[in-house]
Amino acid sequence: MKLIVKVFPEITIKSRPVRKHFIRQLSKNIRAVLKDLDPELEVTGVWDNLDVQTRQTEPKLLREMIERLTCVPGITHFLEVHEYPLGDFDDVLEKCKLHFADQLPGKIFAVRCKRAGKHEFTSMELERHVGSRLRQECNAAGIDLKKPEVEVRMEVRDQRLYVIHHQHNGIGGYPLGSLEQTLVLMSGGFDSTVAAYQMMRRGLMTHFCFFNLGGRAHELGVMEVAHFLWEKYGRSQRVLFISVPFEEVVGEILSKVDNSQMGVVLKRMMLRASTHMARKLNLDALVTGEAISQVSSQTLPNLSVIDSATDMLVLRPLIASHKQDIIDTATKIGTAEFAKHMPEYCGVISVNPTTRAKPGRIEHEEEQFDMAILERALERARLVPIDRVIDELGQDVAVEEVREALPGQIVVDIRHPDAQEDDPLELAGIEVLALPFYAVNNRFKELDANRQYLLYCDKGVMSRLHAHHLLSEGHANVRVYRPA
């Protein structure tokens, strides 16, 4: 399979050195994203287009390659092509007939040609010749350049002909690693996941920072969605997942800070902690998912007071976004289902939260706060490479595993719906229930408590983690299914 990758249009208007830098970075990223599928993948080209060539032929593997490339920042779209030496007009016609003859009978069509290099003909002349002959020889209904039912597309580059048979859209943006690095404050909800995606799409390497307010299930949920975002959109770069234990910080705020000011003080403590982590890792900015006045702490006066807790740049890509637009984007990028089922834990809920925080009042409240507690939280923070976060999380989790399911037991397939669709789990005589991992915590309580459930996933890590959590919640009818 040969692909022609078209880069994000904003890249093409950069200066020559910057443009080359972006293209080189995109080439590296494509190799990194696809190397486990094809170690011998060829990526060539240094200017407008990149050519990607694989000798792999297994259909499932090729579909996975295409799916991954649609999520690589920096790619506007890419074309599946067949490449040939450029012959005369009749030879070009034969190549087009080879791929489109069976699609044209009774259809309205158009021929599109793009050309680069020096030739004795124009693109329009080639289109006319091929179009008129295809109409005559393939029983087409006619030609319509505005609204064709079938498009016969080709590119001529110097002495090569590319017949295009599929176009796949990418997400655009700049290549990851071509710009600076950021630290996104992750709660796992709609806002923070969309904010992280937008930074990644813009080419900014995005590390993840989670403040654990006391909920183990919430921490697991945020780890899962952060890993999903990285695996789908950022796997060309290695980044960190940082978990900061904030239970003591919350307790100190509850006991020392006036009720109306607690939300603003908590956000300031998070900014102080994330600034410390960003400085330690030499990162350039912090990112949050805040939008103007979505909640009480996000009014302009409150955001101004919150930002004064740090001298680091704080980016808010959703600042003027409507909630429904954010939810729609989360649905599009695949994080909406995570957000809907994200376990919530909020230890700071003000009865009458201030919407116009005053710097002097906040400073007075924070004078009562023991900053040694914040320092202890930072000392206990865990930094884990995002590609290992799920595996390391499950290393010390001991849950009973079974090799064989018995009649009457229900095997719960907790894999992502895409994996369930691509490779359905079928067990003779055994009931299989598809329940994605992000929905397990919320929906397990709805299941029949008198039945025995065996959680299943590919590697056995996610199933162990969720089984362990369900057992700790008092569900004794859970084990892990690990077939030999």
205 is in an annotated binding site: no
159 is in an annotated binding site: no
Cβ atoms 204, 240 nearer than 8 A? no
Residue ranges of the chain that CATH labels 3.30.2130.30: 2-169
Measured in degrees and rounded to the nearest 5, phi and psi for residue 153 equal -115, 145
**Could you tell me which of 111, 140, 141 has the C-alpha nearest to residue 128?**
111
Q: Consecutive 10-residue runs of the chain (484 residues): their mean pLDDT?
A: 92 90 94 94 84 92 95 95 94 94 94 92 94 93 93 93 94 95 94 96 96 80 92 95 93 89 93 97 96 89 95 96 96 92 66 89 93 95 90 70 90 87 87 87 86 88 82 87 87
185 is in an annotated binding site: yes
Catalogue the E-assigned strands of 264-338.
285-287, 314-315
For tokens 């697991």, name the residue: 220
In whole angstroms, give the CA distance from residue 194 to residue 459.
Answer: 28
420 is in an annotated binding site: no
- Give the per-residue pLDDT at 397: 65
Neighbours of 51 (CB within 10 A): 16
CATH architecture of 2-169: 2-Layer Sandwich (3.30)
CATH entry 3.40.50.620 includes domain 181-394? yes
186 is in an annotated binding site: yes
Catalytic position from the list 71, 113, 209, 457:
457
**DSSP structural state of residue 309:** T
What are the residues whose beta carbons fall under 8 Å from the beta carbon of 418, sequence distance 6 or more? none
Q: What is the pTM of this model?
A: 0.84
- Give the per-residue pLDDT at 49: 85
- Give the per-residue pLDDT at 418: 79
What distances in angstroms separate CA 243 from CA 213, 220, 385, one per listed residue? 10, 10, 11
Q: Is 457 a catalytic residue?
A: yes
CATH architecture of 401-481: 3-Layer(aba) Sandwich (3.40)
Where residue 8 falls (left for φ over 0; alpha for ψ -120 to 50; beta otherwise) is beta
Residue ranges of the chain that CATH labels 3.40.250.10: 401-481
